[in-house]
Structure 1
Amino acid sequence: MDEDRKFTAGLGDRIIAHLQLLGDDYSGFPVDRLQHSLQTA
Protein backbone atom coordinates (compact mmCIF):
# COMPACT_ATOMS: atom_id res chain seq x y z
CA MET A 1 0.00 0.00 0.00
CA ASP A 2 2.87 2.36 0.78
CA GLU A 3 4.29 1.81 -2.72
CA ASP A 4 0.93 2.84 -4.21
CA ARG A 5 1.01 6.11 -2.29
CA LYS A 6 4.55 6.88 -3.46
CA PHE A 7 3.62 6.13 -7.06
CA THR A 8 0.41 8.16 -6.88
CA ALA A 9 2.10 11.11 -5.18
CA GLY A 10 4.29 11.77 -8.22
CA LEU A 11 1.59 11.19 -10.83
CA GLY A 12 0.92 14.86 -11.57
CA ASP A 13 4.62 15.60 -12.01
CA ARG A 14 5.03 12.63 -14.36
CA ILE A 15 2.07 13.74 -16.47
CA ILE A 16 3.42 17.30 -16.77
CA ALA A 17 6.89 16.00 -17.66
CA HIS A 18 5.45 13.79 -20.39
CA LEU A 19 3.40 16.64 -21.83
CA GLN A 20 6.50 18.84 -21.91
CA LEU A 21 8.24 16.18 -24.00
CA LEU A 22 5.57 16.69 -26.66
CA GLY A 23 6.46 20.36 -27.11
CA ASP A 24 8.76 21.36 -29.98
CA ASP A 25 8.04 18.09 -31.82
CA TYR A 26 6.34 19.18 -35.01
CA SER A 27 6.77 16.00 -37.09
CA GLY A 28 6.20 18.11 -40.21
CA PHE A 29 2.94 19.64 -39.00
CA PRO A 30 2.19 23.34 -38.34
CA VAL A 31 1.63 22.75 -34.60
CA ASP A 32 3.71 20.70 -32.18
CA ARG A 33 2.36 17.54 -30.61
CA LEU A 34 1.62 19.31 -27.32
CA GLN A 35 -0.57 21.94 -29.01
CA HIS A 36 -2.28 19.26 -31.06
CA SER A 37 -3.02 17.24 -27.92
CA LEU A 38 -4.43 20.30 -26.17
CA GLN A 39 -6.57 21.22 -29.19
CA THR A 40 -8.07 17.75 -29.43
CA ALA A 41 -8.65 17.28 -25.69
Structure 2
Amino acid sequence: MGGEVAELLETVTEAMRPNEEVQVSFDGDVETVKIKDIEGPA
Protein backbone atom coordinates (compact mmCIF):
# COMPACT_ATOMS: atom_id res chain seq x y z
CA MET A 1 0.00 0.00 0.00
CA GLY A 2 1.83 3.07 -1.22
CA GLY A 3 5.13 1.26 -0.80
CA GLU A 4 4.30 0.30 2.79
CA VAL A 5 4.01 -3.37 3.79
CA ALA A 6 0.69 -4.42 5.32
CA GLU A 7 -0.77 -7.72 6.50
CA LEU A 8 -4.23 -8.69 5.24
CA LEU A 9 -6.55 -9.54 8.13
CA GLU A 10 -9.33 -10.85 5.87
CA THR A 11 -9.46 -13.21 2.91
CA VAL A 12 -9.74 -11.53 -0.48
CA THR A 13 -11.44 -13.64 -3.15
CA GLU A 14 -11.85 -13.25 -6.91
CA ALA A 15 -15.59 -12.74 -6.39
CA MET A 16 -15.01 -9.51 -4.44
CA ARG A 17 -15.43 -6.15 -6.16
CA PRO A 18 -12.54 -3.62 -6.34
CA ASN A 19 -14.45 -1.10 -4.21
CA GLU A 20 -15.12 -3.58 -1.37
CA GLU A 21 -13.09 -2.95 1.76
CA VAL A 22 -11.00 -5.25 3.95
CA GLN A 23 -9.01 -4.72 7.11
CA VAL A 24 -5.22 -4.64 7.00
CA SER A 25 -2.58 -4.20 9.68
CA PHE A 26 0.32 -1.77 9.38
CA ASP A 27 2.61 -2.93 12.20
CA GLY A 28 -0.38 -3.38 14.51
CA ASP A 29 -2.37 -0.35 13.34
CA VAL A 30 -5.56 -1.76 11.80
CA GLU A 31 -7.11 0.16 8.92
CA THR A 32 -9.88 -0.48 6.41
CA VAL A 33 -8.81 -0.16 2.76
CA LYS A 34 -10.38 -0.74 -0.64
CA ILE A 35 -9.26 -3.87 -2.46
CA LYS A 36 -8.31 -1.80 -5.53
CA ASP A 37 -5.67 0.01 -3.44
CA ILE A 38 -3.81 -3.20 -2.54
CA GLU A 39 -0.68 -3.97 -4.58
CA GLY A 40 1.83 -6.77 -4.68
CA PRO A 41 1.88 -10.53 -4.24
CA ALA A 42 -0.69 -12.28 -2.10
The TM-score, its normalising length taken from structure 2, stands at 0.23
1 or 2, which has the higher helix percentage? Answer: 1
1 or 2, which has the higher strand percentage? Answer: 2
Larger Rg: 1
Which has the higher relative contact order, 1 or 2, with Cα contacts under 8 A spaced 6 or more apart?
2
